[in-house]
Structure 1
Amino acid sequence: MTMTKIDSAFVKAQNEKEAAFLQRDFDALGEKLSRDGIDIEALTKAASDFQIAVPSWGTGTGGTRFARFPGIGEPRNIFEKLEDCAVINELSGCTDSVSPHFPWDKVDDFTELKQRSDSYGLKWVSANSNTFQDQPGQVASFKYGSLSNTEKASRDAAIQHNIDCIQWGEQLGTKSLTIWVGDGSNHPGQQHFQRAFERYLDSAAEIYKALPADWEMHLEHKMFEPAFYSTIIQDWGSNILAAMQLGPKCKSLVDLGHHAPNTNIEMIVARLIQFKKLGGFHFNDSKYGDDDLDSGSIQPYRQFLIFNELVDAAYRKEPEFDPAYMLDQSHNVTDPIESLVNSAIEVQRSYIKALLVNREALYGYQDANDAMMASTELKKGFNTDVSPILAMARYRKGAAISPIPTYRASNYRKNVDKVRPRDPKATGSGII
């Protein structure tokens, strides 16, 4: 059995250097929260229970349309990606699952892969299909689309690939399929909008039929790229229409970076919850039209507002509410492990802050049309530093109080580089 590369004894030794200071900070925050009737132990348990999936492809250095600059010790296959995912979970304590992407992560023996993930204590969630690029030996091309292609052979190839993803996912224990397509057009008149959407729906219906009884299908939308004039599933409107057309097991997936700038994503989330069509999230951040920045690095308040809607739905016991959480980022200039650890904790931070909001007080301000006090109630939760709660949750689980310094002190990246020689012809394992 392959062992993880950061010894738990090392993490414990690093933690003991900070444990006394953490306890003081934790006690001080607990005393402050108690004045508002908030139990810090309940919040710490919530932080401990919170989990978000790591994307297998996120463990490699990403890139742009121009270039990729691979780092040292990058994982060369899914087994090495799992090693890095295990380290991320050891440090953060909140990433106990991995989302695979096929065919990148396809192996000859899925039993061996499942045994390896089990040895790390990692689960598999949401298989992702890839029909936005042609694979070696592929005859029917996706250059002009996949599920919506005018050529039946290309559509059939895309349908079969998604069905294959379901079968591979079943062997790993996943319970959902995420579909994102780059289908669309780059010139006005290039594509008949309605016919293209009809072809997509017909193709997606064939995939839907292949879903196991206990699976869901999550549709992902994106405003542009690689199609820059129109995309098949360009926004949440087309997304939910497709999901409603396909059936109850089909839901919408929200990628935070796939919207136009200044889009009110939290309201979209509320709408999807209301109509029982929220499948899950790909968490990242965006400044202009990108979707690859670390979660919470640019707009942490927006991320908090999204979790405000999620916590509200849980508080109201909204039926059929069980969204899947996953990171989806490209790490161009940072160590992918550091970015994924940091992002997971930032998403967890938004969740705990949203739990601080006094729901009944907020409802009262809303009913009274008291805009100032309603906004202030939200800001009160957002402005509270919950770092001691997150750190204590990690400490009690044996994860790192200070994940990034602990990771750097371990020299994991330099050590793993010795056993992962990079192919000079390779450009890296992340998405470009």
Structure 2
Amino acid sequence: MQISKSFIEQYNDDNLKAHQRKLDFSTSEIENSEAIIKQLVDFQIAIPSWALGTGGTRFGRFPGGGEPRSLEEKIEDVGLLHALNQASGAISLHIPWDIPTDANAIRNLAAQHGLKFDAVNSNTFQDQADQALSYKFGSLQNVNKAIRKQAVDHNIEVIKHGIELGSDSLTVWLSDGSCFPGQLNFRKAFQNTLEGLQEIYAALPSNWKMFVEYKCAEPNFYSTTVGDWGQSLLYASKLGEKAYTLVDLGHHLPNANIEQIVSLLLMEGKLGGFHFNDSKYGDDDLTAGALKPYQLFLIFNELVEGMNARNMNHAKDLGWMIDASHNVKDPLEDLLQSVEAIMMAYAQALSVDRQALEIAQNENDTVRCQEILQNAFRTDVRALVAEASLRAGGALNPIGLFRNLKVRENLIKERGFKTIATGL
């Protein structure tokens, strides 16, 4: 299914007067609103191929129908999202779930939908049907050298697929670790993992980046070999200038100060990018901004300050991606909600009076500092986000148009009700 530009234009025309009233009020309240809108137009958030189908838990999975059955259909679904919001112009693939049979054809299909390929992701947290050796006791950390080599070879294969598709980065997330004390020699596990990452790093093209993702727990619960941002930073520092830390918002211990982590990684030039989601109890992979919108804003506050301090290009110098699991929602609607929440947090952070905040900080005026940040967070920026979508050729209300056009119903007609997305 593709959405005609004429449908989007007609929908926007029908809602333009109401939008203009909201926009006029917002621009009268926010001094740098025009600059914010322009930055929102440029900002793109990659969609992961594995988030296009219904998620699940270890207890069950309840697919909603019309899910993408192939890489081609996954690209079509991201194309639908991008047509609606013009802010989802990239897709991130997971190998071996998304191995293209014809890389040129896949690149052409993506281009038809206005999409690029974001980071490619390796998978050594599962055993595949044709896999010779098992990752039950880890991949790059494994005491068995043959298993470590298998994991290294897989990552190098992922890089080759990424080169064919025009990607320029590799994300490595390892589920390696231990469930019980004494099961693992921490030092040897770290050294084995580092040696494997060094072999993978050596295979990177000169213009590529490696993102080392970390996670505090799950599926191992006593230790994880890349357990926090410090361990990831240690690996990235030892690997070299092309290696960076990747931050998943759900991969922290409860009450971790993620905004401080982000600030320091930026300061060191080692923040590679993000997997956006939200959580209450663990790595819940819920809709971005659904539970902790203020935290999301505070993270973007540090991002904007840190990127400006380093003269970074907000849209291009970091990797922006969603990583979510949609157990009870329509996956495409959920992704549209996440993109909007991210854009809103970014817009609010851009509206912070940085000069006034710096003065208040230098004067130790704690109350004023809090007021400046909360003022920005409490400002309604939805009209600015909608205007950015409008100017880029998207819908004023992407979810509204999604439902108006009965997109999910049409996908079910095309693909069937009992389809299940590959890779889940």
Bin the TM-score by the shorter chain: over 0.9
Q: How many residues align?
A: 422
**1:140-160 deviation line (CA, Å, top 9, x unaligned):** 111110111111111111101
- Equivalents in 1 of 2:399, 2:422: separation in Å? 22
Task: Give the one of 142, 155, 161 matched to 1:162.
Answer: 155
Give the match for residue 2 of structure 2: 5
- Equivalents in 1 of 2:205, 2:185: separation in Å? 33
How far off is 1:230 after superposition?
A: 0.7
Task: Give the one of 112, 117, 122 matched to 1:124.
Answer: 117
Alignment partner of 1:102: what SS?
Answer: coil
Give the match for residue 402 of structure 2: 407
- Cα contact 1:330–1:430 (8 A) shared by 2: no
One-letter amino acid of the structure 1 residue matched with residue 21 of structure 2:
R
The reply to whether residue 105 of structure 1 matches residue 98 of structure 2 is: yes
Give the match for residue 393 of structure 1: 388
**1:19-51 deviation line (CA, Å, top 9, x unaligned):** 011111111221222xxxx13221111111111
The reply to whether residue 15 of structure 1 matches residue 8 of structure 2 is: no
Give the match for residue 70 of structure 2: 77
The reply to whether residue 88 of structure 1 matches residue 85 of structure 2 is: no
Identity value in percent: 46
- Equivalents in 1 of 2:51, 2:408: separation in Å? 15
Give the match for residue 381 of structure 1: 376
Structure 2: gaps spanning 5 or more residues: none
**1:118-173 deviation line (CA, Å, top 9, x unaligned):** 11110001000000001111111111101111111111111011001101000111
Give TM-score scaled by structure 2 length. 0.97
Task: Give the one of 149, 161, 165 matched to 1:172.
Answer: 165
Give the match for residue 301 of structure 2: 308
- Equivalents in 2 of 1:371, 1:55: separation in Å? 40
One-letter amino acid of the structure 1 residue matched with residue 54 of structure 2:
T
- Equivalents in 2 of 1:134, 1:276: separation in Å? 35
One-letter amino acid of the structure 2 residue matched with residue 248 of structure 1:
E
Alignment partner of 1:251: what SS?
Answer: strand
Task: Give the one of 321, 324, 327 matched to 2:322.
Answer: 327
Give the match for residue 348 of structure 1: 343
Give TM-score scaled by structure 1 length. 0.95
- Cα contact 1:224–1:230 (8 A) shared by 2: yes
One-letter amino acid of the structure 2 residue matched with residue 178 of structure 1:
T
- Cα contact 1:186–1:229 (8 A) shared by 2: yes
- Equivalents in 1 of 2:221, 2:10: separation in Å? 52
How far off is 1:398 after superposition?
A: 2.1
- Cα contact 2:54–2:63 (8 A) shared by 1: yes
Give the match for residue 289 of structure 2: 296
How far off is 1:383 after superposition?
A: 0.6
Give the match for residue 372 of structure 1: 367
- Cα contact 2:68–2:420 (8 A) shared by 1: no
- Cα contact 1:68–1:428 (8 A) shared by 2: no
- Equivalents in 1 of 2:351, 2:183: separation in Å? 50
> Runs in 1 of length 4+ with deviation above 4 angstroms?
318-321
Give the match for residue 22 of structure 2: 25
How far off is 1:80 after superposition?
A: 0.3
Alignment partner of 1:297: what SS?
Answer: coil
How far off is 1:430 after superposition?
A: 5.9
RMSD: 1.4
Give the match for residue 279 of structure 1: 272
- Equivalents in 1 of 2:134, 2:423: separation in Å? 22
- Cα contact 1:62–1:429 (8 A) shared by 2: no
How far off is 1:314 after superposition?
A: 2.5
**1:162-220 deviation line (CA, Å, top 9, x unaligned):** 00110100011111000001101111111111101110000100000000000010000
Alignment partner of 1:101: what SS?
Answer: coil
The reply to whether residue 214 of structure 1 matches residue 207 of structure 2 is: yes
How far off is 1:329 after superposition?
A: 0.2
Alignment partner of 2:147: what SS?
Answer: helix
How far off is 1:419 after superposition?
A: 2.2
Alignment partner of 1:418: what SS?
Answer: helix
Give 1:193-212 correspondences, 5 Å limit.
Answer: 193-212=186-205
Distance 1:297 1:186, change over 3 A: same
Structure 1: gaps spanning 5 or more residues: none
